A and B are shown apart, each in its own frame.
Chain A
Amino acid sequence: MLVLGQDEKAKYPFLADAGEYLKDKGFSLVQFGSDPVLKLSVEKALHRIKVASAGEVYKSDIDKDGQASKDYVLEREVFSFLLAIVLIKLTGMSTLIKRFALAEARRAEIYLEKDLGNASNKSKIDLATRIIYDLFNIEIIKENDFFVIPVSDYLKHSVTFHEREWKLINRHVENGKVFLTPDKTVRLIRKELGNYISSKIINAPKPSMIPGLENAVNELILISKKLTPTYTITTGEYPPCIKHAIDVLEKGENLPHSGRFMLATFLLSKGQTVPQIAPLFKNAPDYNPRVTLYQLNHLAGTSGSATKYSCPSCEKLKTQDLCFITKECNDIINPMQFGKKRT
């Protein structure tokens, strides 16, 4: 992983390891609930989430180069980001994650663009290209005033854009490469940056309640409820067919192709990400990490045919001997409906 300076961590706080950062600074999470100075960071974190949930980008106290007159300002930038994640985790509300991640991605974009466009400072350009390579596996090479990337990488990211300007015909293309300005380069990865940040939040462990943060958490729950759609999950349980498939895999037994297809499409549709699902398959007798990732990405529609596959119907699963119906199944026609009712 990248080694970052304090100012770089302030610009790209999602690259910092939360636990290590706190340890380095000599603090524990609990102190943030009580220490009056540290509480300033909590307030800032709360503000950061509120701004994001309103669909805006939070304005940092650091300047465009990531500099600040005082060290503690930089520190508070990082703290507030890490605490924002803690607060979101404590609310248990997943609706906040997406908005927060997107807003933070937009914020980071500003710095990435500045770093890429910094003609005089090669190390800044290197850092930005390294981040893009490490996170998204896109190799960007600087050529004069432009950044060049392989056409196939460009297409994978640009196809979701609707503006005509993003069509390949409206770019300079030469020898299998697309030429981009710094702002376009960064714009290209906005969505992925957002996804990266949200997967970091989803994967962070949920802490137990920290005394002193209750009010902030409650306030966020209220905000998030206003954003929640009308479907709620009444039981967090998986349907019997899915539980059975997971069981089989955990025992290291063989799950037929159709069973893997069902499990993967089910979990993907539930919003799980490919890196979250992949480990489930590692006990399988024929496990191959590369193939598994490949197949999952394919099902998720993130690669290849770009068709997103959905979970098969109960009827189909019955014919494949994958259905283990119980009365909780309640006449549903697709496992996706298990345990859901309209509110």
Chain B
Amino acid sequence: MNEIDIKFLEDSFKKYYFNHFDLITSPPRTSEREFGYQKFNSGMFRHISLKENKELHLLFMQNIPSDVYCSNAYYAFPNFPMSEKDWKEADLIFDIDAKDLNLPCRKNHTMSICNECNEVSKDTSQCVKCNSTKLEKKSLPCKNCIGASKIEVNKLSNVLINDLGIDKENIHVYFSGNEGFHVYVYHSQFQEIGSKERSELVDYIMFRGAIPETFGMKKFKPNRSLFPDFNQKGWNGRFSKYVFGSKSKRSKIISELLDSGYPSFQKTLDDVSKNIGVKIDPNVTMDVHRIFRLPGSINSKSGLSKVLCTDLTKFDPYVDACFLSDDPVEVLANCPIEFKLKNKKFGPYTNEKISVPTYAAVYMICKKLATIA
């Protein structure tokens, strides 16, 4: 990214942090967390410990970071090297990202930016101008992407509440600032469990590793009375709803399952996993030493903020997470796809010099689809 663009982004971010510091809540037990940040065009600074909100504010004002992160783990010595931090516990955390959902709409709003000649084109595997295959993909997630991610968040909440016994009040859902949601679970029985245990929890939530016996299919002398039923709790009940569909069809489908036999039942389970398993990013939940984007901070991939969603159904990231100013800026835009921010439509632009509000300029520059004119 060039100096002028960086200067512009830093100025816009700084203004936001100055005016909206109230949106940044230093997390509970601040002094036990590890913080980290990045500046434009530079590496990551990690292993930072902060005592209170004031120090956090100072970090923002002095460094004008492009991104700020905070651990979900609590340490005795957050600023020590990792092996000596003394890990105490960590909030349970989940990442749901539209790009992992394999949605058909994706190709309509994904662009390829050529690393060799900077040509921007709609999703392709080879640069239309210079034939290079070194392409960077950028996506402007659509309503459908956000909607599908919300469905996964609701599926996750359902498992967390009903199966894992977590109180609704202890589940906080944040828009990630780009293409998905981060779900935090506080004060649960899982605070102190380690990475291996979290990975088991992930498999449970994603419906991975199920064996036929668990859902009523025995290898020898299978018996129809063992199959799950609708009123059962947990995965048995969800399995029934998905596989049998309705109570009237249950008996017939069980007969079919018994006819196709044990090996084919494993395929049924794979299908269940793909369709009703919750699509979370397994690595994120397993890693107990990770740092996550700090709520309230701006995501430099989009210029949108990571914000708490109090009403997920109504939440519209392109309105509710867009806080940058309306001041007009002149940019040279090359954005083949239309997008909407603060209820205003922008684009498509083909190498055009245009004047747009700051928030739209930041959005495009962050996505490498524009530069300051």
Query: Which A residues are in CB contact (< 8 Å) with B76?
Result: 291, 295
Determine if B69 is an interface residue (Cβ-Cβ < 8 Å): no
> Are B203 and A167 within 8 A (Cβ)?
yes
> Are B195 and A155 within 8 A (Cβ)?
no
> Are A173 and B204 within 8 A (Cβ)?
yes
> Are B234 and A303 within 8 A (Cβ)?
no
Identify which of residues 175-221 in chain B touch chain A, using a CB-to-CB cut-off of 8 Å: 189-190, 192-197, 200-201, 203-204, 207-211, 213-214
> Are B209 and A169 within 8 A (Cβ)?
yes
Bound-state CA distance A305–B192 (Å) is 8
Across chains A and B, the number of contacting residue pairs, with CB separation under 8 Å, is: 103
Query: Which B residues are in CB contact (< 8 Å) with A151?
Result: 164-165, 189-190, 201
Query: Which B residues are in CB contact (< 8 Å) with A167?
Result: 200, 203-204, 209-210
Contact check: which of A155, A294, A295 meets B200 at CB < 8 Å? A155
Query: Which B residues are in CB contact (< 8 Å) with A173?
Result: 163-164, 204, 234-235
> Are A174 and B194 within 8 A (Cβ)?
no
Query: Which B residues are in CB contact (< 8 Å) with A158?
Result: 200
Contact check: which of A169, A172, A291, A309 meets B203 at CB < 8 Å? A169
Bound-state CA distance A168–B193 (Å) is 14
Query: Which A residues are in CB contact (< 8 Å) with B193?
Result: 152, 155-156, 304
> Are A257 and B194 within 8 A (Cβ)?
no
Bound-state CA distance A165–B77 (Å) is 39
Identify which of residues 246-303 in chain A touch chain B, using a CB-to-CB cut-off of 8 Å: 257-258, 261, 291, 294-295, 298, 303
Bound-state CA distance A295–B85 (Å) is 10
A170 with B197: in contact, given A150-B189, A294-B88 (CB under 8 Å)?
A: no
Determine if A159 is an interface residue (Cβ-Cβ < 8 Å): yes
Chain A nearest Cβ from B194, distance in angstroms: 3
> Are B88 and A304 within 8 A (Cβ)?
yes
Bound-state CA distance A173–B159 (Å) is 10
Bound-state CA distance A170–B235 (Å) is 9
Contact check: which of B87, B165, B207 meets A175 at CB < 8 Å? B165
Determine if B248 is an interface residue (Cβ-Cβ < 8 Å): no
> Are B214 and A170 within 8 A (Cβ)?
yes
Chain A nearest Cβ from B94, distance in angstroms: 16
Chain A nearest Cβ from B197, distance in angstroms: 4
Q: Can you give 21 contacting A-B residue pairs, CB < 8 Å?
A: A159-B196, A159-B200, A164-B209, A165-B213, A167-B203, A168-B200, A168-B204, A169-B207, A171-B214, A172-B233, A173-B164, A173-B234, A174-B163, A175-B165, A176-B163, A257-B80, A298-B86, A304-B194, A305-B194, A305-B289, A306-B195
Known pairs A169-B209, A173-B163 / 4 extra A-B pairs, C-beta < 8 Å: A155-B200, A156-B193, A176-B189, A291-B76
Give the interface of B toward A (CB within 8 A).
76-77, 80, 83-84, 86-89, 162-166, 189-190, 192-197, 200-201, 203-204, 207-211, 213-214, 233-236, 288-289
By Cβ-Cβ distance, the 8 closest A-B pairs, closest first, are: A176-B165, A306-B194, A155-B197, A168-B204, A152-B189, A170-B214, A175-B165, A159-B196
